[in-house]
A and B are shown apart, each in its own frame.
Chain A
């Protein structure tokens, strides 16, 4: 049998297609499972912190977060990892102004600069507005850390070991990736509130969590009332964490 060049190419092409199909079919069928997503664009999660209700030395949110998310504690202050920072401040130019404190975490910005700069799309915004780092993909370049105006991110500079007492629902993070507040996405997907909000509420504090798209939710009402402010609203990042009483 003799083939001219055209027939040879046709047969070759058909064979290549066949091979590609047989490889692709099992993978595609794995993808078409009935999947129910919890990242529903109808929910836009947000948080409000009324810092008038933050007692001077309260660390309830901070402690709850460290415990829930297995946030490691590194002794060197420059390397330590923070998902929540307790920031103290004083009103400028007001004589005798008292020192106050507030929790600062990732604000899950509507326009997150961290996600824009990530060269490998490891940082991304979920449909429900939660900004996450896909630690499987993060290459540890730390661009996001410089891009974030709120100092919300930390670099994992050391190996962290599994230990008894850690929360098995939240995986540890490897040496060499960047991590930050995830708005307790594992809890939110189960219909719970973030651990900090739960701990804060339990001791009468002023944190609230809810859906901005639901006009009846507590956060929507506070935001509508005009009492809530965003930090550095001039930057246009549109944080989803609001403060009352700044």
Chain B
């Protein structure tokens, strides 16, 4: 009996967690408010929502390994139209619970203060 109870508790943990906490559709989650920018993205917005990570990985490989420095498709390109990281990246990533590590190393603001 105890084993069944333990099993059920562990098994339902993700559901309980999602219901009472953040996570998609959970009680604590805030649905992301998309900020619609004027102008064209480098790709169709729908495509970007689903596949931006693949585009970023491609430009990353090209830039690091082949020295292809086209910035508008790369991580630096995003920042020029979307200067606010909390509004642009973090909102959705937080909502779906993914934690990319881009900004541990890269600088987000397109023009950071340079206190030389």
B68, A171: Cβ atoms closer than 8 Å:
no
> Cα distance A162–B101 when bound, in Å?
14
Q: Which residues of A contact B60 (CB under 8 A)?
A: 136
B67, A185: Cβ atoms closer than 8 Å:
yes
CB-contact partner of B105 in A35, A127, A174, A185, under 8 A: A174
B55, A30: Cβ atoms closer than 8 Å:
yes
**Which A residues from 189 to 217 make CB contacts under 8 A with B?**
189
B105, A135: Cβ atoms closer than 8 Å:
yes
Q: Which residues of B contact A26 (CB under 8 A)?
A: 47, 51, 54
Q: How large is the interface on A (under 10, 10 to 19, 20 to 34, 35 or more residues)?
A: 20 to 34
Q: Which residues of A contact B55 (CB under 8 A)?
A: 30
> Cα distance A39–B60 when bound, in Å?
14
A164 CB-CB contact with B under 8 Å: yes
Q: Which of B4-12, B28-36, B106-114 contacts A (4 or more CB under 8 A)?
A: B106-114
Q: Mark each residue of chain A from 15 to 50: 1 if its CB lies under 8 Å from any CB of chain B, else 0.
A: 000000000001100110101111110000000000
B58, A165: Cβ atoms closer than 8 Å:
no
Contacts A37-B67, A165-B115 given; does A171 touch B62 at CB 8 Å: no
Q: Mark each residue of chain A from 134 to 166: 1 if its CB lies under 8 Å from any CB of chain B, else 0.
A: 111000000000000000000000000010111
A173, B112: Cβ atoms closer than 8 Å:
no
B93 CB-CB contact with A under 8 Å: no
B82 CB-CB contact with A under 8 Å: no
A36, B68: Cβ atoms closer than 8 Å:
yes
> Cα distance A101–B106 when bound, in Å?
35
B65, A171: Cβ atoms closer than 8 Å:
no
> Cα distance A213–B68 when bound, in Å?
21
Q: Mark each residue of chain A from 57 to 71: 1 if its CB lies under 8 Å from any CB of chain B, else 0.
A: 000000000000000
A30, B58: Cβ atoms closer than 8 Å:
yes
B105, A39: Cβ atoms closer than 8 Å:
no
Q: Which residues of B contact A189 (CB under 8 A)?
A: 67, 69
Q: Mark each residue of chain B from 75 to 116: 1 if its CB lies under 8 Å from any CB of chain A, else 0.
A: 000000000000000000000000001001111010011111
B67, A27: Cβ atoms closer than 8 Å:
no
B58, A39: Cβ atoms closer than 8 Å:
no
A172 CB-CB contact with B under 8 Å: yes
**Which B residues from 35 to 77 make CB contacts under 8 A with A?**
43, 47, 51, 54-55, 58, 60, 62, 64-70, 73
Q: Which residues of A contact B107 (CB under 8 A)?
A: 162, 166, 168, 171
A165, B66: Cβ atoms closer than 8 Å:
no
B57 to chain A, nearest CB (A): 9
A86 CB-CB contact with B under 8 Å: no
> Cα distance A135–B104 when bound, in Å?
12
A-B contact pairs, 14 of them (CB 8 A): A27-B54, A30-B43, A30-B73, A35-B62, A37-B62, A38-B67, A39-B66, A39-B67, A136-B60, A164-B113, A166-B107, A167-B114, A174-B104, A189-B69
Known: A165-B116, A171-B105, A189-B67. 7 other contacts (CB 8 A): A26-B51, A37-B66, A39-B66, A124-B65, A135-B105, A164-B112, A172-B105
